[in-house]
Amino acid sequence: MKARRYSSALNVLATGLLVLLVTLLVLFWARWGCESARHGLLPRQAWSLSVDASSLIMPRTVQEPNGIPCTVHAEMAWEEIDVAALGATQYQESQRLDAPDSPVYAWSTDETGVRLYYDRSLGMVVYSCTVGQSKPDGTVLLKKTIAYAGPEGIADRPDEKLGRFRDPVVRLIAGNLDRPIVYDRVLRQFFAIDGPGKAVKQGPPWPANFVGPVDFGWPRKQPRYLNLYLDTLEPHYTYGTDPDRALVLDATGYIQMLDLNTLGYVGSVGRLPVPDSLFASVRRVAPDDLFAFEVMPVFLGRGDLYAGCAVAVLSRDATSMKLEVFDPNGIRVAMQQTGFSDHVPMGSGRSGQLSMVRALYFKLPGAAALTATKFILESLHPPVLLWLSYFTASRVEATAGHRSLFVLPNSFAAMKGRDAESWWLGRFVGALPFLLPGVVVGIVLSRLVGRDARRKGLPTRARRLRMAATVLFTLPAYVTYQITRPTTARVTCQNCGRDRWVDRETCHHCGSPWLVSELIPPTWRVIGQPEEQTCNDPSPRPEETISNA
């Protein structure tokens, strides 16, 4: 009996898990369709920004007293953004050779070509190439060179004395293969590998409270979907990287300047702008809070004069974009964010400037319906997961949030959870309109489950467990109950007249045992005692013994 109960409980749990997965998948794709439709409400031109950056260049040239026109543009790959967020796309992107976390920095499919990569098994950055040496007789001798670089130095062979990089981020500043810069997230130090000089320079060790870099050189996230470029007529002005300096974006969203000779910071030159959001009260953003960003440094001349940087960001839910330009001292000199220009219609013949987010959620034709649909879909999500989304709102990385099945970092509740302006109680109260509908649905379904369970005669403990599960998980729990509830036949109880289960010894309504037989057997019996009678057990006949195989 106990074994039967355990296996029945296992069956309920297994069924519940299956139903939960199926429900969450269906809800996910419904929400995804909603978000895709929302992005489709706007034309392509709405997803590009341009800002005048002439102030970065004008005062610095003496040859051009009237300055050189210079514009910074940011564009979002509007039609690809919804597919971009899916796990399959993200996984494919992350495995490309040129992905930010790729261990390969240069790779020639020809073994004689240049290869620069991080070998995890050795913990070293490996450089290999084939160099041709001309001989006196005119022939060319191909010589393969391999170098192994660790935190402590470079050698021709992997050596323990070279140390091990644990979790490196490697960048080729100015495309210089001979001088990769390494930041090790475990060792918390910068390293500069000098290939020709066969030396590794170590930067100063950072203190324990130091906020480590997320990226450096030309910090970018999701570069295929957010494109930042500078438009100027003067080719002498370049933008890109300087062999002696690099921008560093840290985990709090600040942009620092790194001196590649000393491998130390020399000053703050900007920060990630805060894009518009539905509850526009977040004061600052970290790289993890953004779906995409790009930090583009601007250098003048041959790259030895830092003129400032342009930063573009795409919000967590990809509904707003912002572009800011900073001067060399880190002061913002220009800003623009997505909105509407006059010629973009907004329904009812009106046009004008509007917050992009508000327009996408409320004002544009069809936006309100999509918002209502999003609200309904989130209310159908299991309340326990929706409440978890509220409490973990800031902890989920932005792109991961788009492929999340269980918690909803882009839900209204989570958006409210990231509201930094209110006190925690005010924030919670503000989120209740988004959190409570799911609970109400759960309570309604739970009452239905309880009523049916009582009718079916489920034990009190089981009934309460089912009801509690329905409050916490609503739809999946309700469907699970319908699938796994007992289906044993019932007959009329002779005592109370109500339906009773045939597999119970007593009636679950009145407690009566089985008083009257379902069938009417005869009153007589002919029952012998087994012990009194002996069955025939003749000894085996010798001629018929059977041999076993």
Residue 109 sits in the site that holds other proteins (CB under 8 A): yes
DSSP string, 406-440: SS-TTSHHHHHHT--SS-HHHHHHHHHHHHHHHHH
Grouping H, G, I as helix, E, B as strand and the rest as coil, residue 193 is: strand
Size of site (CB under 8 A) for other proteins = 73
CB of 16 to other proteins, least distance (A): 8
111 lies in the site for other proteins, by CB under 8 A: yes
Query: For other proteins, which is the closer residue by CB, 12 or 439?
Result: 12
CB nearer other proteins, residue 25 or residue 142: 25
Residue 103 sits in the site that holds other proteins (CB under 8 A): yes
β-pairing verdict for 238-239 and 292-300: antiparallel
- Point out which span in 81-89, 224-232, 272-280, 374-382 binds other proteins (CB under 8 A): 81-89
The position carrying tokens 């210089």 is 176
Give the H/E segment covering residue 386: helix 383-391
For the bound state, the minimum distance from the C-beta of residue 69 to other proteins, rounded and expressed in Å, comes to 41
For other proteins, the closer of residues 342 and 543 by Cβ is 543
**Of the candidates 203, 261, 235, 228, the residue with the CA atom closest to the CA atom of residue 48:** 228
Rule CB under 8 A: say whether 90 interacts with other proteins. Answer: yes
Among 86, 177, 448, 462, binds other proteins (CB under 8 A): 86
Report if residue 518 touches other proteins, rule: CB under 8 A. yes
Residue 359's identity, in one-letter code, is: A
Window contacting other proteins (CB under 8 A); options: 187-195, 311-319, 455-463, 501-509: 501-509
Residue ranges in 357-386 that form contacts with other proteins under rule CB under 8 A: none
CB closer to other proteins out of 15 and 373: 15
Nearest to 335 by CA among 16, 74, 44, 123: 74
Asked if 107 touches other proteins (CB under 8 A), the answer is yes
In contact, 284 and 253? CB cutoff 8 Å: yes
CB neighbour burial string for 301-339, b if at least 16 within 10 angstroms, e if fewer: eebeebbbbbbbbbbbbbbbbbbbbbbbebeebbebbbb
Determine if 515 is a binding residue for other proteins (CB under 8 A): no
How large is the greatest C-alpha to C-alpha distance in the chain, in angstroms? 128
Using the rule CB under 8 A, give the single segment among 8-16, 184-192, 329-337, 369-377 that binds other proteins. 8-16
Question: Can residue 489 be called a binding residue for other proteins (CB under 8 A)?
Answer: yes
Q: What is the rounded distance in angstroms from the CA atom of residue 448 to the CA atom of residue 443?
A: 9
Q: Nearest 10 degrees: CA dihedral of 471, 476, 482, 486? A: -80
The one-letter amino acid code at 542 reads P
User: Which among 104, 48, 31, 100 has a CA at the least distance from the CA of 336?
Assistant: 48
Min separation Cβ 155 and other proteins, Å: 20
As given in the structure block, the two tokens for residue 12 are 């309920």
Is residue 547 at the binding interface for other proteins, with CB under 8 A as the rule? yes
Nearer to other proteins, 460 or 523 (CB): 523
525 lies in the binding site for other proteins (CB under 8 A): yes
Site residues for other proteins, 9-68, by CB under 8 A, read: 10-11, 13-15, 17-18, 21-22, 25, 28-29
520 touches other proteins by CB under 8 A: yes
Q: Kindly state whether residue 542 participates in binding other proteins, applying the rule CB under 8 A.
A: no
Contact 289, 326 (CB under 8 A): no
CA triple 273-278-284, angle to 5 deg: 30
* 517 scored as a contact of other proteins (CB under 8 A): yes
Nearest distance from C-beta of residue 244 to other proteins, angstroms: 30
Choose one: 64-72, 203-211, 372-380, 487-495; the region binding other proteins (CB under 8 A). 487-495
Contact region for other proteins (CB under 8 A) — 183-191, 219-227, 414-422, 521-529?
521-529
Do 247 and 299 form a contact (C-beta atoms < 8 A)?
no
Region 405-434 residues binding other proteins, contact defined as CB under 8 A: 405
- Binding other proteins by CB under 8 A: which of 196, 538, 542, 543? 538
Instruction: Label each residue of 215-233 as H, E or C.
Output: EEECCEECCCCEEEEEEEC
Query: Which one, 66 or 536, has the nearer CB to other proteins?
Result: 536
**Candidates 196-204, 210-218, 314-322, 482-490 — which segment interacts with other proteins by CB under 8 A?**
482-490
For residues 85 and 248, which CB has a smaller minimum distance to other proteins in the complex? 85
What are the beta bridge partners of residue 425? none
